[in-house]
Amino acid sequence: NAGVTQTPKFQVLKTGQSMTLQCAQDMNHNSMYWYRQDPGMGLRLIYYSASEGTTDKGEVPNGYNVSRLNKREFSLRLESAAPSQTSVYFCASSERGAPGNTIYFGEGSWLTVV
Amino acid sequence: DQQVKQNSPSLSVQEGRISILNCDYTNSMFDYFLWYKKYPAEGPTFLISISSIKDKNEDGRFTVFLNKSAKHLSLHIVPSQPGDSAVYFCAGLTGSYQLTFGKGTKLSVIP
């Protein structure tokens, strides 16, 4: 099982460029998430999708947009990248919300904005 | 304003001994607390959780203790093994979807 798959794994962008991080899960989960992790910091929630067709802001949504394309896929878009968005991005999914449903994380996407 | 604090960036323990990782929180609205383990270049993996109405939860070598009055929780790993060497994150859950993570503690288990 692939679990949660993110692409690309590494990306370098110039300030002002746009890009989309793709995420797909093969566990038939209802809920999906995007987190970012900065050096020496914990993960911070950017956006989440509780179920297909819904998206909600997390702790740090500014500068990002998301699309829940279907039940499997949840993409994160940077419209105009800024150096402050240099980070490691993690996509995650869970069967549904609440702690009884384990959140599974992808391996991460390393993004550098120069 | 850090709602979840892990004040020890690192911890070294001898193999076979107990590892104790600590976490403090300020948000009284957390319903659950979770511990995640992370290896380099991998995503975090879930370890164990505890409801805010409980004071202890145990799963094999891992036990989490919650002291609600002190707003403190700890993860005990007994016995510690070299494969436990990783970064451990404490997280608080509000509602059903929003996890707030601490900065993590890097555990090194020395053979």
The tens digit of pLDDT for each residue in A39-83 reads 888 899 999 999 999 999 999 999 999 999 899 999 999 999 999
pLDDT at B41 over 90: no
Residue-averaged pLDDT of chain A? 93
Cα separation of A54 and A43, whole Å?
Answer: 22
Measured between beta carbons, the chain B residues lying within 8 angstroms of A58 are: 98
Contact yes or no for B100 and A97 at CB 8 A: no
pLDDT at A46: 97
Residue-averaged pLDDT of chain B? 94
Strands B62-67 and B72-77, how do they pair? antiparallel
User: Which of B95, B98, B102 faces A42 most closely, judged by CB atoms?
Assistant: B102
Q: Is A24 on the interface with B (CB under 8 A)?
A: no
Which residue of chain B has the CA closest to A41? B103
Element (H or E) spanning A16, and its range? none
Contact yes or no for B89 and A90 at CB 8 A: no
CA angle B18/A103/A12 to nearest 5° reads 100
Share of chain A above pLDDT 70, in %: 94
Question: Which residue did the predictor score with more confidence, A95 or A4?
Answer: A4
